[in-house]
Structure 1
Amino acid sequence: MDESVAGFWQKLLSGINWDFAAGDIAAFAALVIWLWALWPVAEIRQLLTTPNKQTQILIATIALTGLWLLNANVNAGIHVHFLGLVVLMLMFGWRLASIIALLPTLFFAIFVFKQPADFAIYALLGVCLPIFGCFILYSQMFKYLPHHLFIYIFCGGFLNGFVSILVHVLAWALWLLITTDYTWQFLSANYLVIIPLLAFPEALLNGMAITLLVVYRPDWLYDYSDRTYLWRK
C-alpha cells in the first residue's frame, strides 16, 4: 500500500518543470500588483468571522478544481476545460472570486500544465481578466436593464458564461502568439475554433448553476435579493 501511494505521488510530481524565466517573475509581480489593487478588505474580514462563508468557499474551490481537471490537452500550452468563474463571481463578488480562484489555478499550473512558472500569467489572463470582464458586463446589465429575475439568470449567468470563455481563450491565444512559435493560423485552426464548442456549454453550465442557487440557496449569492428581482415595484 505504501509503495502504491509513493508511486502515485512520484508519477504525479514527475515531469514538473520548476524553471522560472525573467518574464515569469514579471508576471508574478503584475499579479501581486493586481491583487493589491483589488484586495477585498471588508470581505476578508467578514470571511474570517463567518464559518458558513468559509464552508461555501471550500465547496466552491473543490468544485472548481474538479471541473478544471476535466481538461483536454490539445497541444503544448493549449488546454481546454470549462471555467465556472461566473458562478464564483456571482457567489462571492468579483474581487473575492479572483482570490479564491488562485488555488485551483496553482493546482492546474503545477499538476496539469506541469509548469509552475505559468501560474501567474494564467491567473492574470485566464482567470482574473475573464472575471473582471464579466463583472463589467454584469454591472452594466444591472445599471441599464430591468431588475428582473430572467435578466439576472440569463445575462448574469448564461451570457456571462459565454463571455468568460471568449475572453479566456482570446487572451490566452494572444499570449501564446507572443511567447511561442505558434502562428495565428495555427491558433485559429486548433484553439480559437473551439470557442463555440466551449462557450455554449459554459453558458449553460453557469446559467443552470445560478438558477439552482436562486431557487435553493439564494443566500449564497453575493448581491442577489428577492426584493430587487421578484417583488413588484
Structure 2
Amino acid sequence: MQDFLWPPLALLLLWLIWALRQRPWQDWQDNTLQHLVLGGCVLSGSLWMLQAHANGPQPLHLIGAALLVQMVGPALASLMLLLVLLATSSLHGVPPIQWPWLALSLVLLPVLLSWGWHRLLQKVAPPNLFVYLLGSGFAGGALSHAAAGLALHAGLVEWPAQGLPPSLPFWWLLSWGEAFETGFLLTLMVVYRPRWVRLFDDRRYLHPST
C-alpha cells in the first residue's frame, strides 16, 4: 500500500489547488447553496455509513458523487466528499495510510468521470431532458460508481497478481443502485427544485433553440 501513497497524494494536491482556485464558497451567502452543501453532506454521509461486507478490502456502499456534481459542480462536490470520507473513515477506524487511495478512488475519480461524462453528453447528445436525466443521472451514476470500485480494489490489493477480489462483482452490481439513486433524486430535483441542480440548464433542455 505504501507504493501507492505518493502518487495519490500528488494528484489530490493538484486537484485541491484547482478546486480552491475556483472559489466555490464565493456564493456562500446564498441560502440555497448553504442548504445544498449541508444537505448533500448529510445525504452522502448516510450513503457511506450504510455499508455491507462481501469478503473484500473495502465495504460496499453508495457514493453519491454524480449527484453532488450535478447539484454543486465538481469543485465543491469533491470538497464535500473529502469531508465525508474523512468523517466515515475516522468512525470506522480505517488506517490513515489508506486515506489517499480512498480519496483518489472514491472522490476524485467518480467526480471527474461524472463531470467529464456530463460534458461529453453536452457536446455529442441532443439537448433533450430525458437524455440529461438518463445520461448524466442514471448512466453517470453507474459509470462513476463502477470505475471507483475498480480503482479501489486495484489499489488495496496486489492486483492483478492476486486476481480480482471476490467483492468486486458485488460492487459493480451495486452500481445499479447508484444509478437509480442518482437518476431518481436528480429527476425529483429537476422537476420540483431545478435551482438545486446547478449543472442543469433549462434553456438547453427545456427551451432548445430551433
Query: CA offset at residue 21 of structure 1?
Result: 6.2
Q: Which runs of 5+ in 2 are unaligned?
A: none
Aligned position for 1:45: 26
Within a 5 Å distance, the mapping from 1:1-233 to structure 2 comes to 24=5, 27-47=8-28, 49-75=29-55, 77-178=57-158, 183-185=162-164, 187=165, 190-233=166-209
Q: Larger RCO: Structure 1 or Structure 2 (Cα < 8 Å, ≥ 6 residues apart)?
A: 2
Superposed CA deviations along residues 83-136 of structure 1, whole A, max 9, x for unmatched, are: 111110000111211111111100121112532332222111221111101111
Q: Match of 1:183, as an amino acid? A: Q
Partners in 2 of 1:111 and 1:25 — Cα distance? Answer: 24
Conservation of the 8 A alpha-carbon contact between 2:55 and 2:167: no
Q: Report the aligned-residue RMSD.
A: 2.3
Conservation of the 8 A alpha-carbon contact between 1:213 and 1:221: yes
| Identical pairs, percent | 28
Q: Identify which range, 33-42 or 208-217, moves more after superposition.
A: 33-42
SS of the equivalent of 1:114 reads coil
SS of the equivalent of 2:97 reads helix
Relative distance call for 1:66 and 1:144 in structure 2 (3 A) is same
In terms of fraction of residues, the more helix-rich structure is: 1
Conservation of the 8 A alpha-carbon contact between 2:63 and 2:145: yes
Count matched residues: 209
Structure of larger gyration radius: 1
Partners in 1 of 2:92 and 2:168 — Cα distance? Answer: 21
Q: Which runs of 5+ in 1 are unaligned?
A: 1-19
SS of the equivalent of 1:43 reads coil
SS of the equivalent of 1:39 reads helix
Query: CA offset at residue 41 of structure 1?
Result: 2.7
TM-score, normalised via structure 1 length: 0.81
SS of the equivalent of 2:54 reads strand
Partners in 1 of 2:13 and 2:172 — Cα distance? Answer: 33
Conservation of the 8 A alpha-carbon contact between 1:176 and 1:182: no
Query: CA offset at residue 223 of structure 1?
Result: 2.3
Partners in 2 of 1:232 and 1:114 — Cα distance? Answer: 48
Query: CA offset at residue 73 of structure 1?
Result: 2.6
Conservation of the 8 A alpha-carbon contact between 2:137 and 2:182: yes
Relative distance call for 1:205 and 1:109 in structure 2 (3 A) is same
Conservation of the 8 A alpha-carbon contact between 2:141 and 2:179: yes
